Chains A and B, each alone.
Chain A
Amino acid sequence: MSERKDYTNGPLCLSGRNLTRVFGTGAKQNVAVDHVNFDFHEGEFVSIVGESGSGKTTLSKMLLGLLNISEGEILYQGKPRDISNRKKLNEYWKGIQPIFQDPFSSYNIFHKIDAVLLDCIAMRGGKHLPYEKKVEMMTEACSFVNLKFAELTNKYPFELSGGQMQRLMIARIFLLKPKILLADEPTSMVDACSRATILDMLLNLRDETGMTIIFITHDIGLAYYISDTIYIMEHGKFVESGKADEVILNPQAAYTKRLISDVPKIHEEWDLSTVEMNNTL
């Protein structure tokens, strides 16, 4: 980590200007994302940290062009994003791909795993490659996330565990190699050990391809471990942002401080008095 290149000053890749999303109207109105501003640079590893319901997924769906924007705008590579027609939208989607939060709803249960991966190869123009070559590519992508393609082939997604599904989603990204990856808690169901391996692999992928990774999480410790830049989100607003070191070591917002203090510290002794109290209950 010490010889990390500085990615925070690269060319602009994705920016938000007063980006807002409102759900519902009248009394039921809910401002899920509230006038947020940001600049993500090429190759930057950005973490968006916030607790449940703070608007992270809503923001990512807007960035993906899956959810209409209520107010503000998104700049793509410095210019206002134009996804006004199907063709432009498809072009935009070649550059930005997601890993969704819920792996169980991310798969079409009627399609085999092979179909998911073959689809990615086809999207990258490899539709007419010989089948052996395709298998080679799929095997490589699977081993990238510690999966064995030979064990997955001809299986249906629902035959996999949640963690395996999430890893397969990352394998999909490996095949697609988009310019921007929007990863919404991509490792929430993976054990801690594999998580570190996978995240390191994502970093490697970034280093190899210059992919911008927008990493959504509520784990500020994890964000500190991998990201260049951290955005802290509370109730739809960015309350603090900056380089990872600055935000974590010198937090300004009360919310950030609270998030940091909530991170469990393994080296600390258990508070025996509370343990005893619980036992007597």
Chain B
Amino acid sequence: MKNTIKQLFHSSKFVIGFVIFVAILLTIIIYPLVSPGNPLEMVGVGTFARPGTYVSLYDAVTTEKDTFKFSDADEKRLANAISDSDREAMLALFDAAAMDYSSIDVNDSNALIEFWDANYQTAMDTAKLKKSQKRDLRLLDSRIQALKAGETFKVVEEVDGETVEISTITKTDYVNTNKVINVRNLPLGTDNFGRDTLRELIAAAGVSLRIGLIAGIIATFVGLLLGLLAGYLGGVVDNIITFFTNVLSVIPSIVLLILINYSISQELRGPTLCALIIGATSWTWTTRSVRSQVISLRNRDHVNLSKLSGHSLMRIILTDILPYIASYVVMAFILQVSSGILAEAQLSMLGLGPKTTTTPTLGLMMNWATLYSAHTTGRWWAYFPVILTITFITFSLNFMNTGMDQVFNPALRD
């Protein structure tokens, strides 16, 4: 036993799967401790805030200021200040004045502004423009000039109908984000409800893993029990169990899941109930494979000797059959867990998963992202990390399984 575990850790596949799985598990456990909070709290007003660090503007204004004169700060500001439509308007003016601006790169905002400063007045004079167009251009120019000049903002407060100036913000004012009281990291932005996607994802991974575990335990337990009984006892018991197993496995389990979940109202469907249902519909293949393994074992002479020693049925199953299939059962369990997680995702995508707004699951997150067309509007953070998480969990479980297969099944050893 000890040896087998040692061997497992010599299998690179098992180790890779194990490390990924443990990393996921630790994240699920540790993240809520480090960063407590309700994963379902709608922190954002509005949907799909982009991933990033959010600094409270309110707090920043009153935070102690530092002055910096970074040489490229203005350039950056200007570059960002000119929108595409501004650019078009500027170029339209030069065209109207028949000016040749081929010497500059029109996408380089700084060069464009320099050219604008040099030629604005002459262009306005020569070009034939409508009054409204001229007015728009004058506004644009004053905006550009203001940016260059170093416009300042005044922060005022109304006290008894009088406006009192609190502070002035100039271009060289900076605040250290560490000093701002409210800075929030949203590495994965928010979802359609304005919930912190990362926190929700980690909580959902935990719930989905629990669903997988419960479903896996039920499926493995039922499958093992029925498989052992059918395989070892044979006869009528075997016929009955095999009949039920065959009937159930003919119907695709997803169809069965859909029918069962459809018949239970949303309000009642919690993650645990979903896990129970998934487990109760997926034991058939464990039963079938355990049964066939037990049949080949029960005719082994060590089982015969055990019978001849007067051992009870229970003892023979527990000591002479179970140890031989234990490694196989562990492998089947791991596969059941991963297919349980996938089954939940499938069900939730169809809107038949656990009740929506009370618990997050990976499937529900996918479902909401789809309903709010996150995939067509480029809100990748709402669905891509979820897909990645599902992939990593099932991938790590399957990798562990393959590694075990290599250790337990000498025929596959290289």
Q: Name A's B-contacting residues (CB within 8 A).
A: 61, 64, 66, 90, 93-94, 97-98, 100-102, 105-111, 119-120, 123
Check if A100 sits within 8 Å of B305, measured CB to CB: yes
Q: Find the A residue at minimum CB distance from B321.
A: A108
Knowing that A97-B308, A110-B324 touch, tell me 14 more A-B residue pairs with CB under 8 angstroms. A64-B308, A66-B304, A90-B310, A93-B308, A94-B310, A98-B305, A100-B305, A101-B301, A102-B301, A106-B301, A108-B302, A108-B319, A110-B323, A120-B309
Distance of A153 from chain B, by nearest CB (Å): 19
A-B contact count (CB 8 A): 42
Q: A66-B304, A100-B305 are in contact. Are A110 and B319 (CB under 8 A)?
A: yes
| Most chain A beta-carbon contacts within 10 A, residue among B304, B308, B310, B320 | B308
Distance of A175 from chain B, by nearest CB (Å): 11
B134 at the A/B interface (Cβ < 8 Å)? no
Measured CA separation A97–B307 after assembly (Å): 11
Measured CA separation A108–B305 after assembly (Å): 9
Measured CA separation A93–B308 after assembly (Å): 6
| Most chain A beta-carbon contacts within 10 A, residue among B304, B305, B319, B324 | B305
List 30 A-B residue pairs with CB atoms under 8 Å apart, sorted by A's residue number.
A64-B308, A66-B304, A66-B307, A93-B307, A93-B308, A93-B310, A94-B310, A97-B308, A98-B304, A98-B305, A98-B308, A100-B301, A100-B305, A101-B301, A102-B301, A105-B300, A105-B301, A106-B301, A106-B305, A107-B302, A108-B302, A108-B306, A108-B320, A108-B323, A110-B319, A110-B324, A111-B319, A119-B309, A120-B309, A123-B310
Distance of A23 from chain B, by nearest CB (Å): 13
CB-defined interface of B196-215 with A at 8 Å, one 1/0 digit per residue?
A: 00000000000000000000
Q: Find the A residue at minimum CB distance from B1.
A: A110
Measured CA separation A228–B171 after assembly (Å): 116
Which residues in A have their C-beta under 8 angstroms from that of B307? 66, 93
Check if B302 sits within 8 Å of A106, measured CB to CB: yes
Measured CA separation A152–B324 after assembly (Å): 23
Measured CA separation A238–B302 after assembly (Å): 29
Measured CA separation A100–B304 after assembly (Å): 9
Which residues in A have their C-beta under 8 angstroms from that of B304? 61, 64, 66, 98, 100
Which residues in B have their C-beta under 8 angstroms from that of A94? 310
Which residues in B have their C-beta under 8 angstroms from that of A100? 301, 304-305
Measured CA separation A47–B67 after assembly (Å): 108
